[in-house]
């Protein structure tokens, strides 16, 4: 029986999260959630206005059939961290547990885990919703999330050309340098990015920055940035015209890309075409020859964190990575 807990830092998580396995694990998680083989209580918040921050707890269990997994991510948003403490605005810690015994198998860096699973979720949606021969990818926002968007989406489509748009020229240059040996990647305007076969938006804006007229006739959009009430990356007309696929009804209507129009009663149930779980299980056909623009409204689910932690833990154990420690004080107990 496992007696030690594995500590996995950001480097360990990244090294043990092969996208070729994380993407299907996220697909399995969406399917389990839709089948009813997952438990995912609503994300809970602790508001800390005196520190300009908050804590969020994200627990989940899922049974994918050939494996099951459980865990909880403890994450935050503290807007003063960068300027006042030289710390990231968002931190996170994942506790990954054995569902049978509740033993804490691993404690993982939650920031890297979030990046990996967010990219993988976009890849699952792209696989089902983008045109089959999609070869160009636009990315708006060149922050940390942009990297795994390209890494994951290129697993499911033959991406050749990448257009990246960001107000920060340094971040754009760093992104290009990271990928210019693998792809034809170059800087462009938001409109240039929006005209690609696939578009991923990974910004925190509250005023839409993607204009309707710039989006291609059959572009698939991964709307990844909105994660709080008021955030909104896409022009209203895009959402009015698009096939909308969501990850979770409660989260997307509260804090996803559709939240602003939903609260204003400009979108309702009839405007949501399906959940990504329904698409994965073929309960909704996803894209067909008549589909124009498609939008995946992703808020990020705890089941994604658990599924990714499962992949990372299995690989870390096989590769001898991380640091084992006796969290529960069992040393010498036998």
Q: Quickly count: other Cβ atoms within 10 Å of residue 41's Cβ.
A: 12
Dump strand ranges (E) for 23-145. Answer: 38-39, 44-48, 53-63, 68-78, 92-97, 104-109, 136-140
Instruction: Supply the mean pLDDT for the chain.
Output: 96
Domain ranges for the chain: 5-113+302-325, 121-297
Q: Which residue has the tokens 């547990």?
A: 97
Q: Which helix (H) or strand (E) holds 7?
A: strand 5-8
**Burial class, 294, CB count within 10 angstroms (exposed 0-12 / middle 13-18 / buried 19+):** buried
116: number of Cβ within 10 Å: 28
Contacts of 180 (CB under 8 A, 6+ apart): none
What DSSP character marks residue 284? S
pTM for this prediction: 0.95
Q: Is 290 annotated as a binding residue?
A: no
Q: What is the pLDDT of residues 212-242, one digit of tens each?
A: 999 999 999 999 998 888 999 999 999 999 9
d(CA 31, CA 281): 6
The tokens of 19 are what? Answer: 């996208």
Cβ–Cβ < 8 Å for 62, 38: yes
d(CA 152, CA 162): 13
**pLDDT-based confidence at residue 182 (cuts at 50, 70, 90):** very high
Superfamily of domain covering 121-297: NAD(P)-binding Rossmann-like Domain (3.40.50.720)
Whole-number percent of the chain with pLDDT over 90: 94
> Is 298 marked within a binding site?
yes
Helix (H) or strand (E) holding 246: strand 243-246
| Residues with a known catalytic role | 73
Q: What is the pLDDT of residue 1?
A: 64
Does 82 show up as a binding residue in the annotation? no
Residue in this structure with the two tokens 């697909």, named with its chain if needed: 27
Establish whether 227 is an annotated binding residue: yes
Counting residues of the chain whose pLDDT is more than 70, the rounded percentage is 99
Q: What is the CATH number of domain 5-113+302-325?
A: 3.30.1780.10
Strand order in the sheet with 161-165: 184-187, 161-165, 136-140, 198-201, 220-223, 294-297, 243-246, 272-275
Q: Is 145 annotated as a binding residue?
A: yes
Cα–Cα distance between 33 and 31 in angstroms, integer?
A: 5
Model pLDDT, residue 310:
98
98 is in an annotated binding site: no
Q: Per the annotation, does 43 bind a ligand? A: no
DSSP 210: B
Residue 172 has pLDDT above 80, yes or no: yes
Give the Cα separation of 245 and 242 in Å (integer): 9
pLDDT of 334 > 60? The answer is no
């Amino acid at each position: 029986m496992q007696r030690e807990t594995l500590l996995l830092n950001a480097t360990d998580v990244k090294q043990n999260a092969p996208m070729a396995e994380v993407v299907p694990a996220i697909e399995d998680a969406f399917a389990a959630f839709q089948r009813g083989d997952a438990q995912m209580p609503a994300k809970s918040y602790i508001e800390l206005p005196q520190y300009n921050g908050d804590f969020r707890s994200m627990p989940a269990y899922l049974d994918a059939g050939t494996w099951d997994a459980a865990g909880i991510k403890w994450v935050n948003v503290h807007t003063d961290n960068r300027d006042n403490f030289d710390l990231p605005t968002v931190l996170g810690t994942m506790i990954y547990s054995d569902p049978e015994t509740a033993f804490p198998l691993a404690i993982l860096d939650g920031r890297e885990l979030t990046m990996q699973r967010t990219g993988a979720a976009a890849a699952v949606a792209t696989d089902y919703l983008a045109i089959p021969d999609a070869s160009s990818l636009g990315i708006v926002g060149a922050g940390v999330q942009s990297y795994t968007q390209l890494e994951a989406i290129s697993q499911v489509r033959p991406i050749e050309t990448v257009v990246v748009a960001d107000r920060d020229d340094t971040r754009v240059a760093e992104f290009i340098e990271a990928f210019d040996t693998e792809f034809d990647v170059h800087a462009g305007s938001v409109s240039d990015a929006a005209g690609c076969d696939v578009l991923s938006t990974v910004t925190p804006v509250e005023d839409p920055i993607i204009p309707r007229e710039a989006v291609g006739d059959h572009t698939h959009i991964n709307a990844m940035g909105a994660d709080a009430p008021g955030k909104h990356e896409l022009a209203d007309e895009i959402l009015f015209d698009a096939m909308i696929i969501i990850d979770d009804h409660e989260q997307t209507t509260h804090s996803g890309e559709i939240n602003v129009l939903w609260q204003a009663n400009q979108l309702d149930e009839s405007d949501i075409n399906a959940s990504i779980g329904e698409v994965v299980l073929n309960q909704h056909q996803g894209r067909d020859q008549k589909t124009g623009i498609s939008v995946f409204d992703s808020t990020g689910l705890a089941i994604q964190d658990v599924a990714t932690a499962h992949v990372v833990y299995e690989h870390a154990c096989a590769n001898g990575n991380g640091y084992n420690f006796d969290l529960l004080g069992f040393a010498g107990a036998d």
